[in-house]
Amino acid sequence: MDLQSIKNRFGIIGNAPALNHALNTAAQVAATDLTVLIVGESGVGKEAFSLIIHALSSRKHNPFIAVNCGAIPEGTIDSELFGHEKGSFTGAVDSRKGYFETVSGGTIFLDEIGEMPLGTQARLLRVLETGEFIRVGSSKVQKTDVRVIAATNRELIDFTEKGKFRQDLYYRLSTVPIRVPSLRDRKEDIILLFRKFVVDFSERYKTTPVQLDDEARNLLINYPFPGNVRELKNLAEQISVLSNQPLLSANDLRKFLPEKNLNRMPVLAGQPHGEFANEREILYKLFFDMKKDVTELKKMFLEILQNPSLAGTAANFTKESLINDFTVNGNEQHHLIQQNVNQPALIQPVSANNQPVLLSNDDIQRHEEIEESLNIMDKEKELIIKALKKHKGKRKDASADLGISERTLYRKLKEYDIEE
């Protein structure tokens, strides 16, 4: 089956190269019984790819079941997947078949595989390697013929390094990996998808499809869409319901977009988009703010050095006034000022006999040439540490605050050897 036929059959919209590559891979691997690992952010449509693989395989007339590993409690997931015997645990009033037994001959889709407990991972590995499993509370080995397709929105290789996911299971699952692109990586498809969703809604409820002007389309294309296609569909339906006019401007569209995500959008025209552009934007802003504050601080101290009579006035500065003067972006970056705020000796140089020292113009010139460290890697590491501390180690919130993806944050933690 050619690529366009697959798109028509399964309702796939878009022509982005990354999407086409993922679909071609799914079509090629469908005819085999190889295990497939589908990787992609939440909302990109990973389950749709599992359905495509099953429907194009020789198992298409046999059962297909999707299991969300993150939605099943740890104490019952073994029973759900592999079954249990009567009396094997409290509440087991009857024997029960598990999914691997009932779906034998078909396909099982294990979504959010990264949330599976380590004990269950060991049982799954045995099924993948030998086709054997044992019900909970039983000693009888049973056989099953199930094709496993797994999916995750996490980087499992990072989980294996932290002992949260078995390395042998990771390599067994990822026989054929398929990476489904995020909506940010297929911007050319955003307007096509939006139009599809609003037309479907208008046909269902007999209304006029909402349209966007040029500025609104540009705003929509550059919006980060952390929820991907799922978020875009919800947005299209929300606009269709709540909009009072058929043609939306950029200002009208902004009312429907979360402010938090709007702040993460690139603001400089002609600059590259994506997570790396966001990283640079954060660092540039930090450097400019720091440079401005340091320049003001140096200017004040130079005035005191040139006019010693100002030292007495400076000594009367209160701690609160200095803190307010040197607050950066609403964050109290002032611990050094707090330590020295009432120490005039640190403001004006003195000689051995406690007399004020008047500095020459050469001394002042040398002082002006001293620059603070602006090493980009040091500042980036410092930002990441502050974000993690601010969000109490929650990577998802920290990466959102920094304006980068979780994947990039994981890479930076490893690169800078930051311990959480």
402, 285 contact by CB (below 8 A): no
| Spatial separation of the C-alpha atoms in residues 159 and 407, rounded to whole Å | 12
Q: Fold for domain 375-415? A: Arc Repressor Mutant, subunit A (1.10.10)
Question: Residue 156 pLDDT > 80, yes or no?
Answer: yes
Three-state DSSP class for 404? Answer: coil
Share of the chain above pLDDT 90, in %: 56
Q: Which residues pair with 413 in a beta bridge?
A: none
Residue type, 403: G
Considering only residues 9 and 341, tell me which one the structure prediction assigns the higher pLDDT. Answer: 9
- Range name among 20-34, 160-174, 284-298 with the lowest pLDDT average: 284-298
**Global pTM value:** 0.63
CA dihedral sign of residues 134, 136, 140, 146: negative
Beta-carbon contacts of 94 under 8 Å, excluding residues fewer than 6 positions away, are 86
**Residue of 356 and 219 predicted with greater confidence:** 219
What gap in Å lies between CA 52 and CA 245, rounded to an integer? 38
Q: What integer is the mean pLDDT of 317-332?
A: 46
Predicted local confidence at residue 362, as pLDDT? 52
**Which residue's structure tokens are 């980009």?**
376
Amino acid identity of residue 410, one-letter, is Y
Instruction: Tell me: pLDDT of 249 over 90.
Output: yes
185-262 is classed in which CATH architecture? Orthogonal Bundle (1.10)
pLDDT at 420: 67
Q: So what CATH class is 3-181? A: alpha beta
- Convert 242-265 into a string of H (helix), E (strand) and C (coil): HCCCCEECHHHHHCCCCHHHHCCC
113-122, 312-321, 396-405: which range is least confident on average?
312-321
Of 253, 250, 277, 255, which Cα lies nearest the Cα of 264? 277
| Domain regions of the chain by residue span | 3-181, 185-262, 277-368, 375-415
Nearest alpha-carbon partner for 16 in 177, 233, 229: 229
356 token code pair = 């004020």
What does the DSSP assignment read for 267-309?
-STTPPPSHHHHHHHHHHHHHHHHHHHHHHHHHHHHHHHH-TT
Report the SS3 class of residue 4. Answer: helix
**H/E segment holding residue 148:** strand 147-152
Calpha distance 420→415 (Å, rounded): 13
Question: 112 vs 312, which has greater pLDDT?
Answer: 112
- Record the tokens describing residue 378, joined without a space: 């040091």
Q: Is the pLDDT of residue 180 over 60?
A: yes
* Whole-number pLDDT of residue 400: 82
**Given this model, what pLDDT does residue 414 score?**
78
Is residue 410 scored above 70 in pLDDT?
Answer: yes
* Cα 354 from Cα 371, distance rounded (Å): 29
pLDDT higher than threshold 50 for residue 330: no
Q: Does pLDDT of 270 surpass 80?
A: no
Instruction: State residue 272's pLDDT score.
Output: 45
